[in-house]
Structure formats: structure tokens, C-alpha cells
């Protein structure tokens, strides 16, 4: 079935829920323990709209990933707070002390700050520092800086694949990844111009070419090419250079994904194939209740003006 349009609406799977982001609004839909759907809708204005210079090619990718991380962590925090309230566990003594000392709002900000730091630090350690150190231990056997950089890039991709495969095997993450599949299916259904019903959504693929997972995979591959042009014998200097070049990698990856998303031919299908394949780790088939959540969130962010969400 051919799609009638390509939408800029995107989403993120959460704990028992989904966030959808449109050109004007964001919506978070979360399934509560009693079966009802908790819905939070907000007007939103993207950084590239507030500050025009951030819409410049390459720069817009860096601004976009920063904004996505910020919005994504906030959505995860909101969804997890609903899940915790459903469990209704008694706060620990430490949590009570924090709330008494700083207030409930401050505690939320502290937790959010810690989660953000870890969310940024863990990928940097796993996918930049670790491959650089491992490749550095083989310097005396490799000899050439070019081969060392290529080996480092290969290790980065392998570590990334192992990490995502391991995460996808976790029971709780399987449900999150099923919501991820529901997100993709509902967007496909909307792009096809069909009514957003559970039965219609179920017909579509759980792998989507403009998925954030494909973007992450592109970052891994493009980092191999970008980092390979910089060679330094000292592993700590190499790690510092990798961090400095990371915005360049993100900017290039965004433009590549944008180009792939706008065109559908044999060339772009070949380029997007690895990212589509990689989604087998991060998307699972959803059940009907998950699709209902996705539809609820998606309906809220579809703009009234026809074509305003065109990709």
C-alpha cells in the first residue's frame, strides 16, 4: 500500500505510553493501571522556529538532537511518575528526607538532572571512550593510524549492536519496544490517509524509515568516517577529539537521514536498509491496547491546517 504523504510527526516510546510530537503540539498518552489512558497535551515551538539561525543545515541537526533529548527525558519522567503512582509504593526514608529538605518539585528536578547526566554519559562512555581505549591497546600490532581508526569504528558499531540487542531482551524493555512498534504503525496509517482505527493500524509495518533508531545507527556509521580522518597516538587526546567532532557527526547524520526520508529510490533504499534492519531489535509487534495509546497521542498532534506537517 503506497503512502499518500510523508509527515514530520514523530514519536517516542515510553513506559506504558507514547509521546507524539507535531508541528504545533506534543502529546503524551500513558496507559494507567486501571486501563484508562492518561493524556497530556501541550503547545510547543521548536528551537529552529524560535531562533532562525538554528535552522541552518547541519546546525539544525545539532539543535534537534539536543531538543529531542530534553523533551524525551521529560516525557519519560512524566510516564514513569504515572507508573510509580499506580504502584503506590511507600516512599523510602531517603526520598522522604529529600522531599522534606528540598520540596517535591525540587526532588523531581534533581532526579531529572541525574537521569539526564547518566543518559548522556553512558552512551559517551560506551560508544566513544570504550572503543577508543580498546583500539589503543592494539597500537603496537596495528601500527597505522588509519587502521586503528577503522578498528575503533568497527568496535563502536559492534558494542552498539550488542548493547541494543541486550536491552531488547529485557522484559520491561520489550513492552517499551512494542509501544515503539505501535508508534510506527499509527504514523504509517496516517501517512496512507486511512482512518486511525486499531484494525487499520495493525496492517502496517512496525519498521519506519524516518525512525530515531535509524538515525542512531547512521550516527554510528558516519562517526567511523568522520573520526577516521583524525589520528592521534595518545588515546586521551583521541577521546577529546572524538567529543569535539561529535556535533559534526550529528549534523551530517541528520542531513543524511533528512535526504533519505525525502526520497524513495533504489539508492536511498540501499542506504536506509541497515537502519530498517536494525529496528528489528528496537520494535516489536504491539497489542491492541498499545495501538489505542498511539492513536490517542497521534490524533492530538495532527495540525488543523492541511500539509503543515509535511516532511
pLDDT digit string, tens, across residues 106-115 = 555 666 666 6
Predicted pLDDT at 104:
57
Greater pLDDT, 287 or 62: 287
User: What gap in Å lies between CA 308 and CA 24, rounded to an integer?
Assistant: 9
The dihedral region occupied by 143, where left means phi > 0, alpha psi between -120 and 50, and beta the remainder, is left
Q: Which of 123, 122, 141, 134 is nearest to 235 (CA)?
A: 134
- pLDDT score of 95 more than 60: no
Predicted pLDDT at 1:
41
Rounded average pLDDT over 42-70: 86
Greater pLDDT, 198 or 225: 198
Predicted pLDDT at 69:
83
- pLDDT score of 2 more than 50: no
What is the chain's mean pLDDT, rounded?
Answer: 83
Confidence of residue 43 (pLDDT cuts 50, 70, 90): very high
Rounded average pLDDT over 119-134: 80
pTM of the model: 0.81
pLDDT digit string, tens, across residues 178-190 = 999 999 999 999 9
Mean pLDDT check: name the lowest of 7-11, 110-114, 240-244: 110-114
Greater pLDDT, 27 or 62: 27
Greater pLDDT, 194 or 116: 194
Greater pLDDT, 154 or 299: 299
Amino acid at each position: 500500500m503506497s503512502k499518500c504523504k510523508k509527515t514530520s510527526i514523530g514519536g517516542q516510546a515510553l513506559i506504558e505510553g507514547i509521546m507524539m510530537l507535531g508541528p504545533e503540539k506534543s502529546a503524551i498518552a500513558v496507559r494507567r493501571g486501571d486501563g484508562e489512558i492518561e493524556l497530556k497535551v501541550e503547545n510547543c515551538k521548536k528551537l529552529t522556529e524560535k531562533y532562525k539561525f538554528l535552522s541552518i543545515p547541519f546546525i539544525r541537526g545539532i539543535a534537534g538532537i539536543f531538543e529531542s533529548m530534553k523533551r524525551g527525558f521529560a516525557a519519560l519522567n512524566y510516564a514513569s511518575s504515572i507508573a510509580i503512582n499506580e504502584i503506590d509504593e511507600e516512599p523510602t526514608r531517603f526520598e522522604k528526607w529529600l522531599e522534606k529538605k528540598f520540596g517535591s518539585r525540587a526532588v523531581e528536578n534533581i532526579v531529572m538532572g541525574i537521569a539526564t547526566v547518566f543518559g548522556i554519559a553512558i552512551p559517551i562512555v560506551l560508544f566513544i571512550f570504550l572503543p577508543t581505549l580498546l583500539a589503543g591497546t592494539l597500537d603496537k600490532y596495528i601500527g597505522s593510524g588509519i587502521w586503528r581508526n577503522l578498528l575503533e569504528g568497527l568496535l563502536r558499531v559492534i558494542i552498539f549492536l550488542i548493547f541494543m540487542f541486550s536491552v531488547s531482551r529485557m522484559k520491561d524493555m520489550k513492552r517499551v519496544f512494542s509501544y515503539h512498534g505501535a508508534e510506527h504503525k499509527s504514523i504509517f496509517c496516517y501517512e496512507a490517509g486511512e482512518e486511525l482505527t486499531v484494525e487499520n493500524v495493525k496492517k502496517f509495518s512496525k519498521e519506519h524509515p524516518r525512525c530515531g533508531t535509524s538515525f542512531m545507527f547512521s550516527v554510528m556509521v558516519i562517526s567511523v568516517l568522520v573520526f577516521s580522518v583524525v589520528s592521534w597516538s595518545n588515546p586521551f587526546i583521541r577521546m577529546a577529539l572524538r567529543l569535539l567532532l561529535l556535533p559534526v557527526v550529528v549534523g551530517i547524520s541528520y542531513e543524511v537521514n533528512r535526504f533519505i526520508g525525502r526520497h524513495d529510490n533504489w539508492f536511498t533504499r540501499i542506504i536506509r536498509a541497515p537502519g530498517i534492519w536494525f529496528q528489528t531489535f528496537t520494535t516489536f509487534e504491539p497489542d491492541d491496547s498499545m495501538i489505542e495509546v498511539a492513536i490517542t497521542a497521534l490524533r492530538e498532534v495532527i495540525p488543523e491546517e492541511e500539509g503543515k506537517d509535511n516532511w
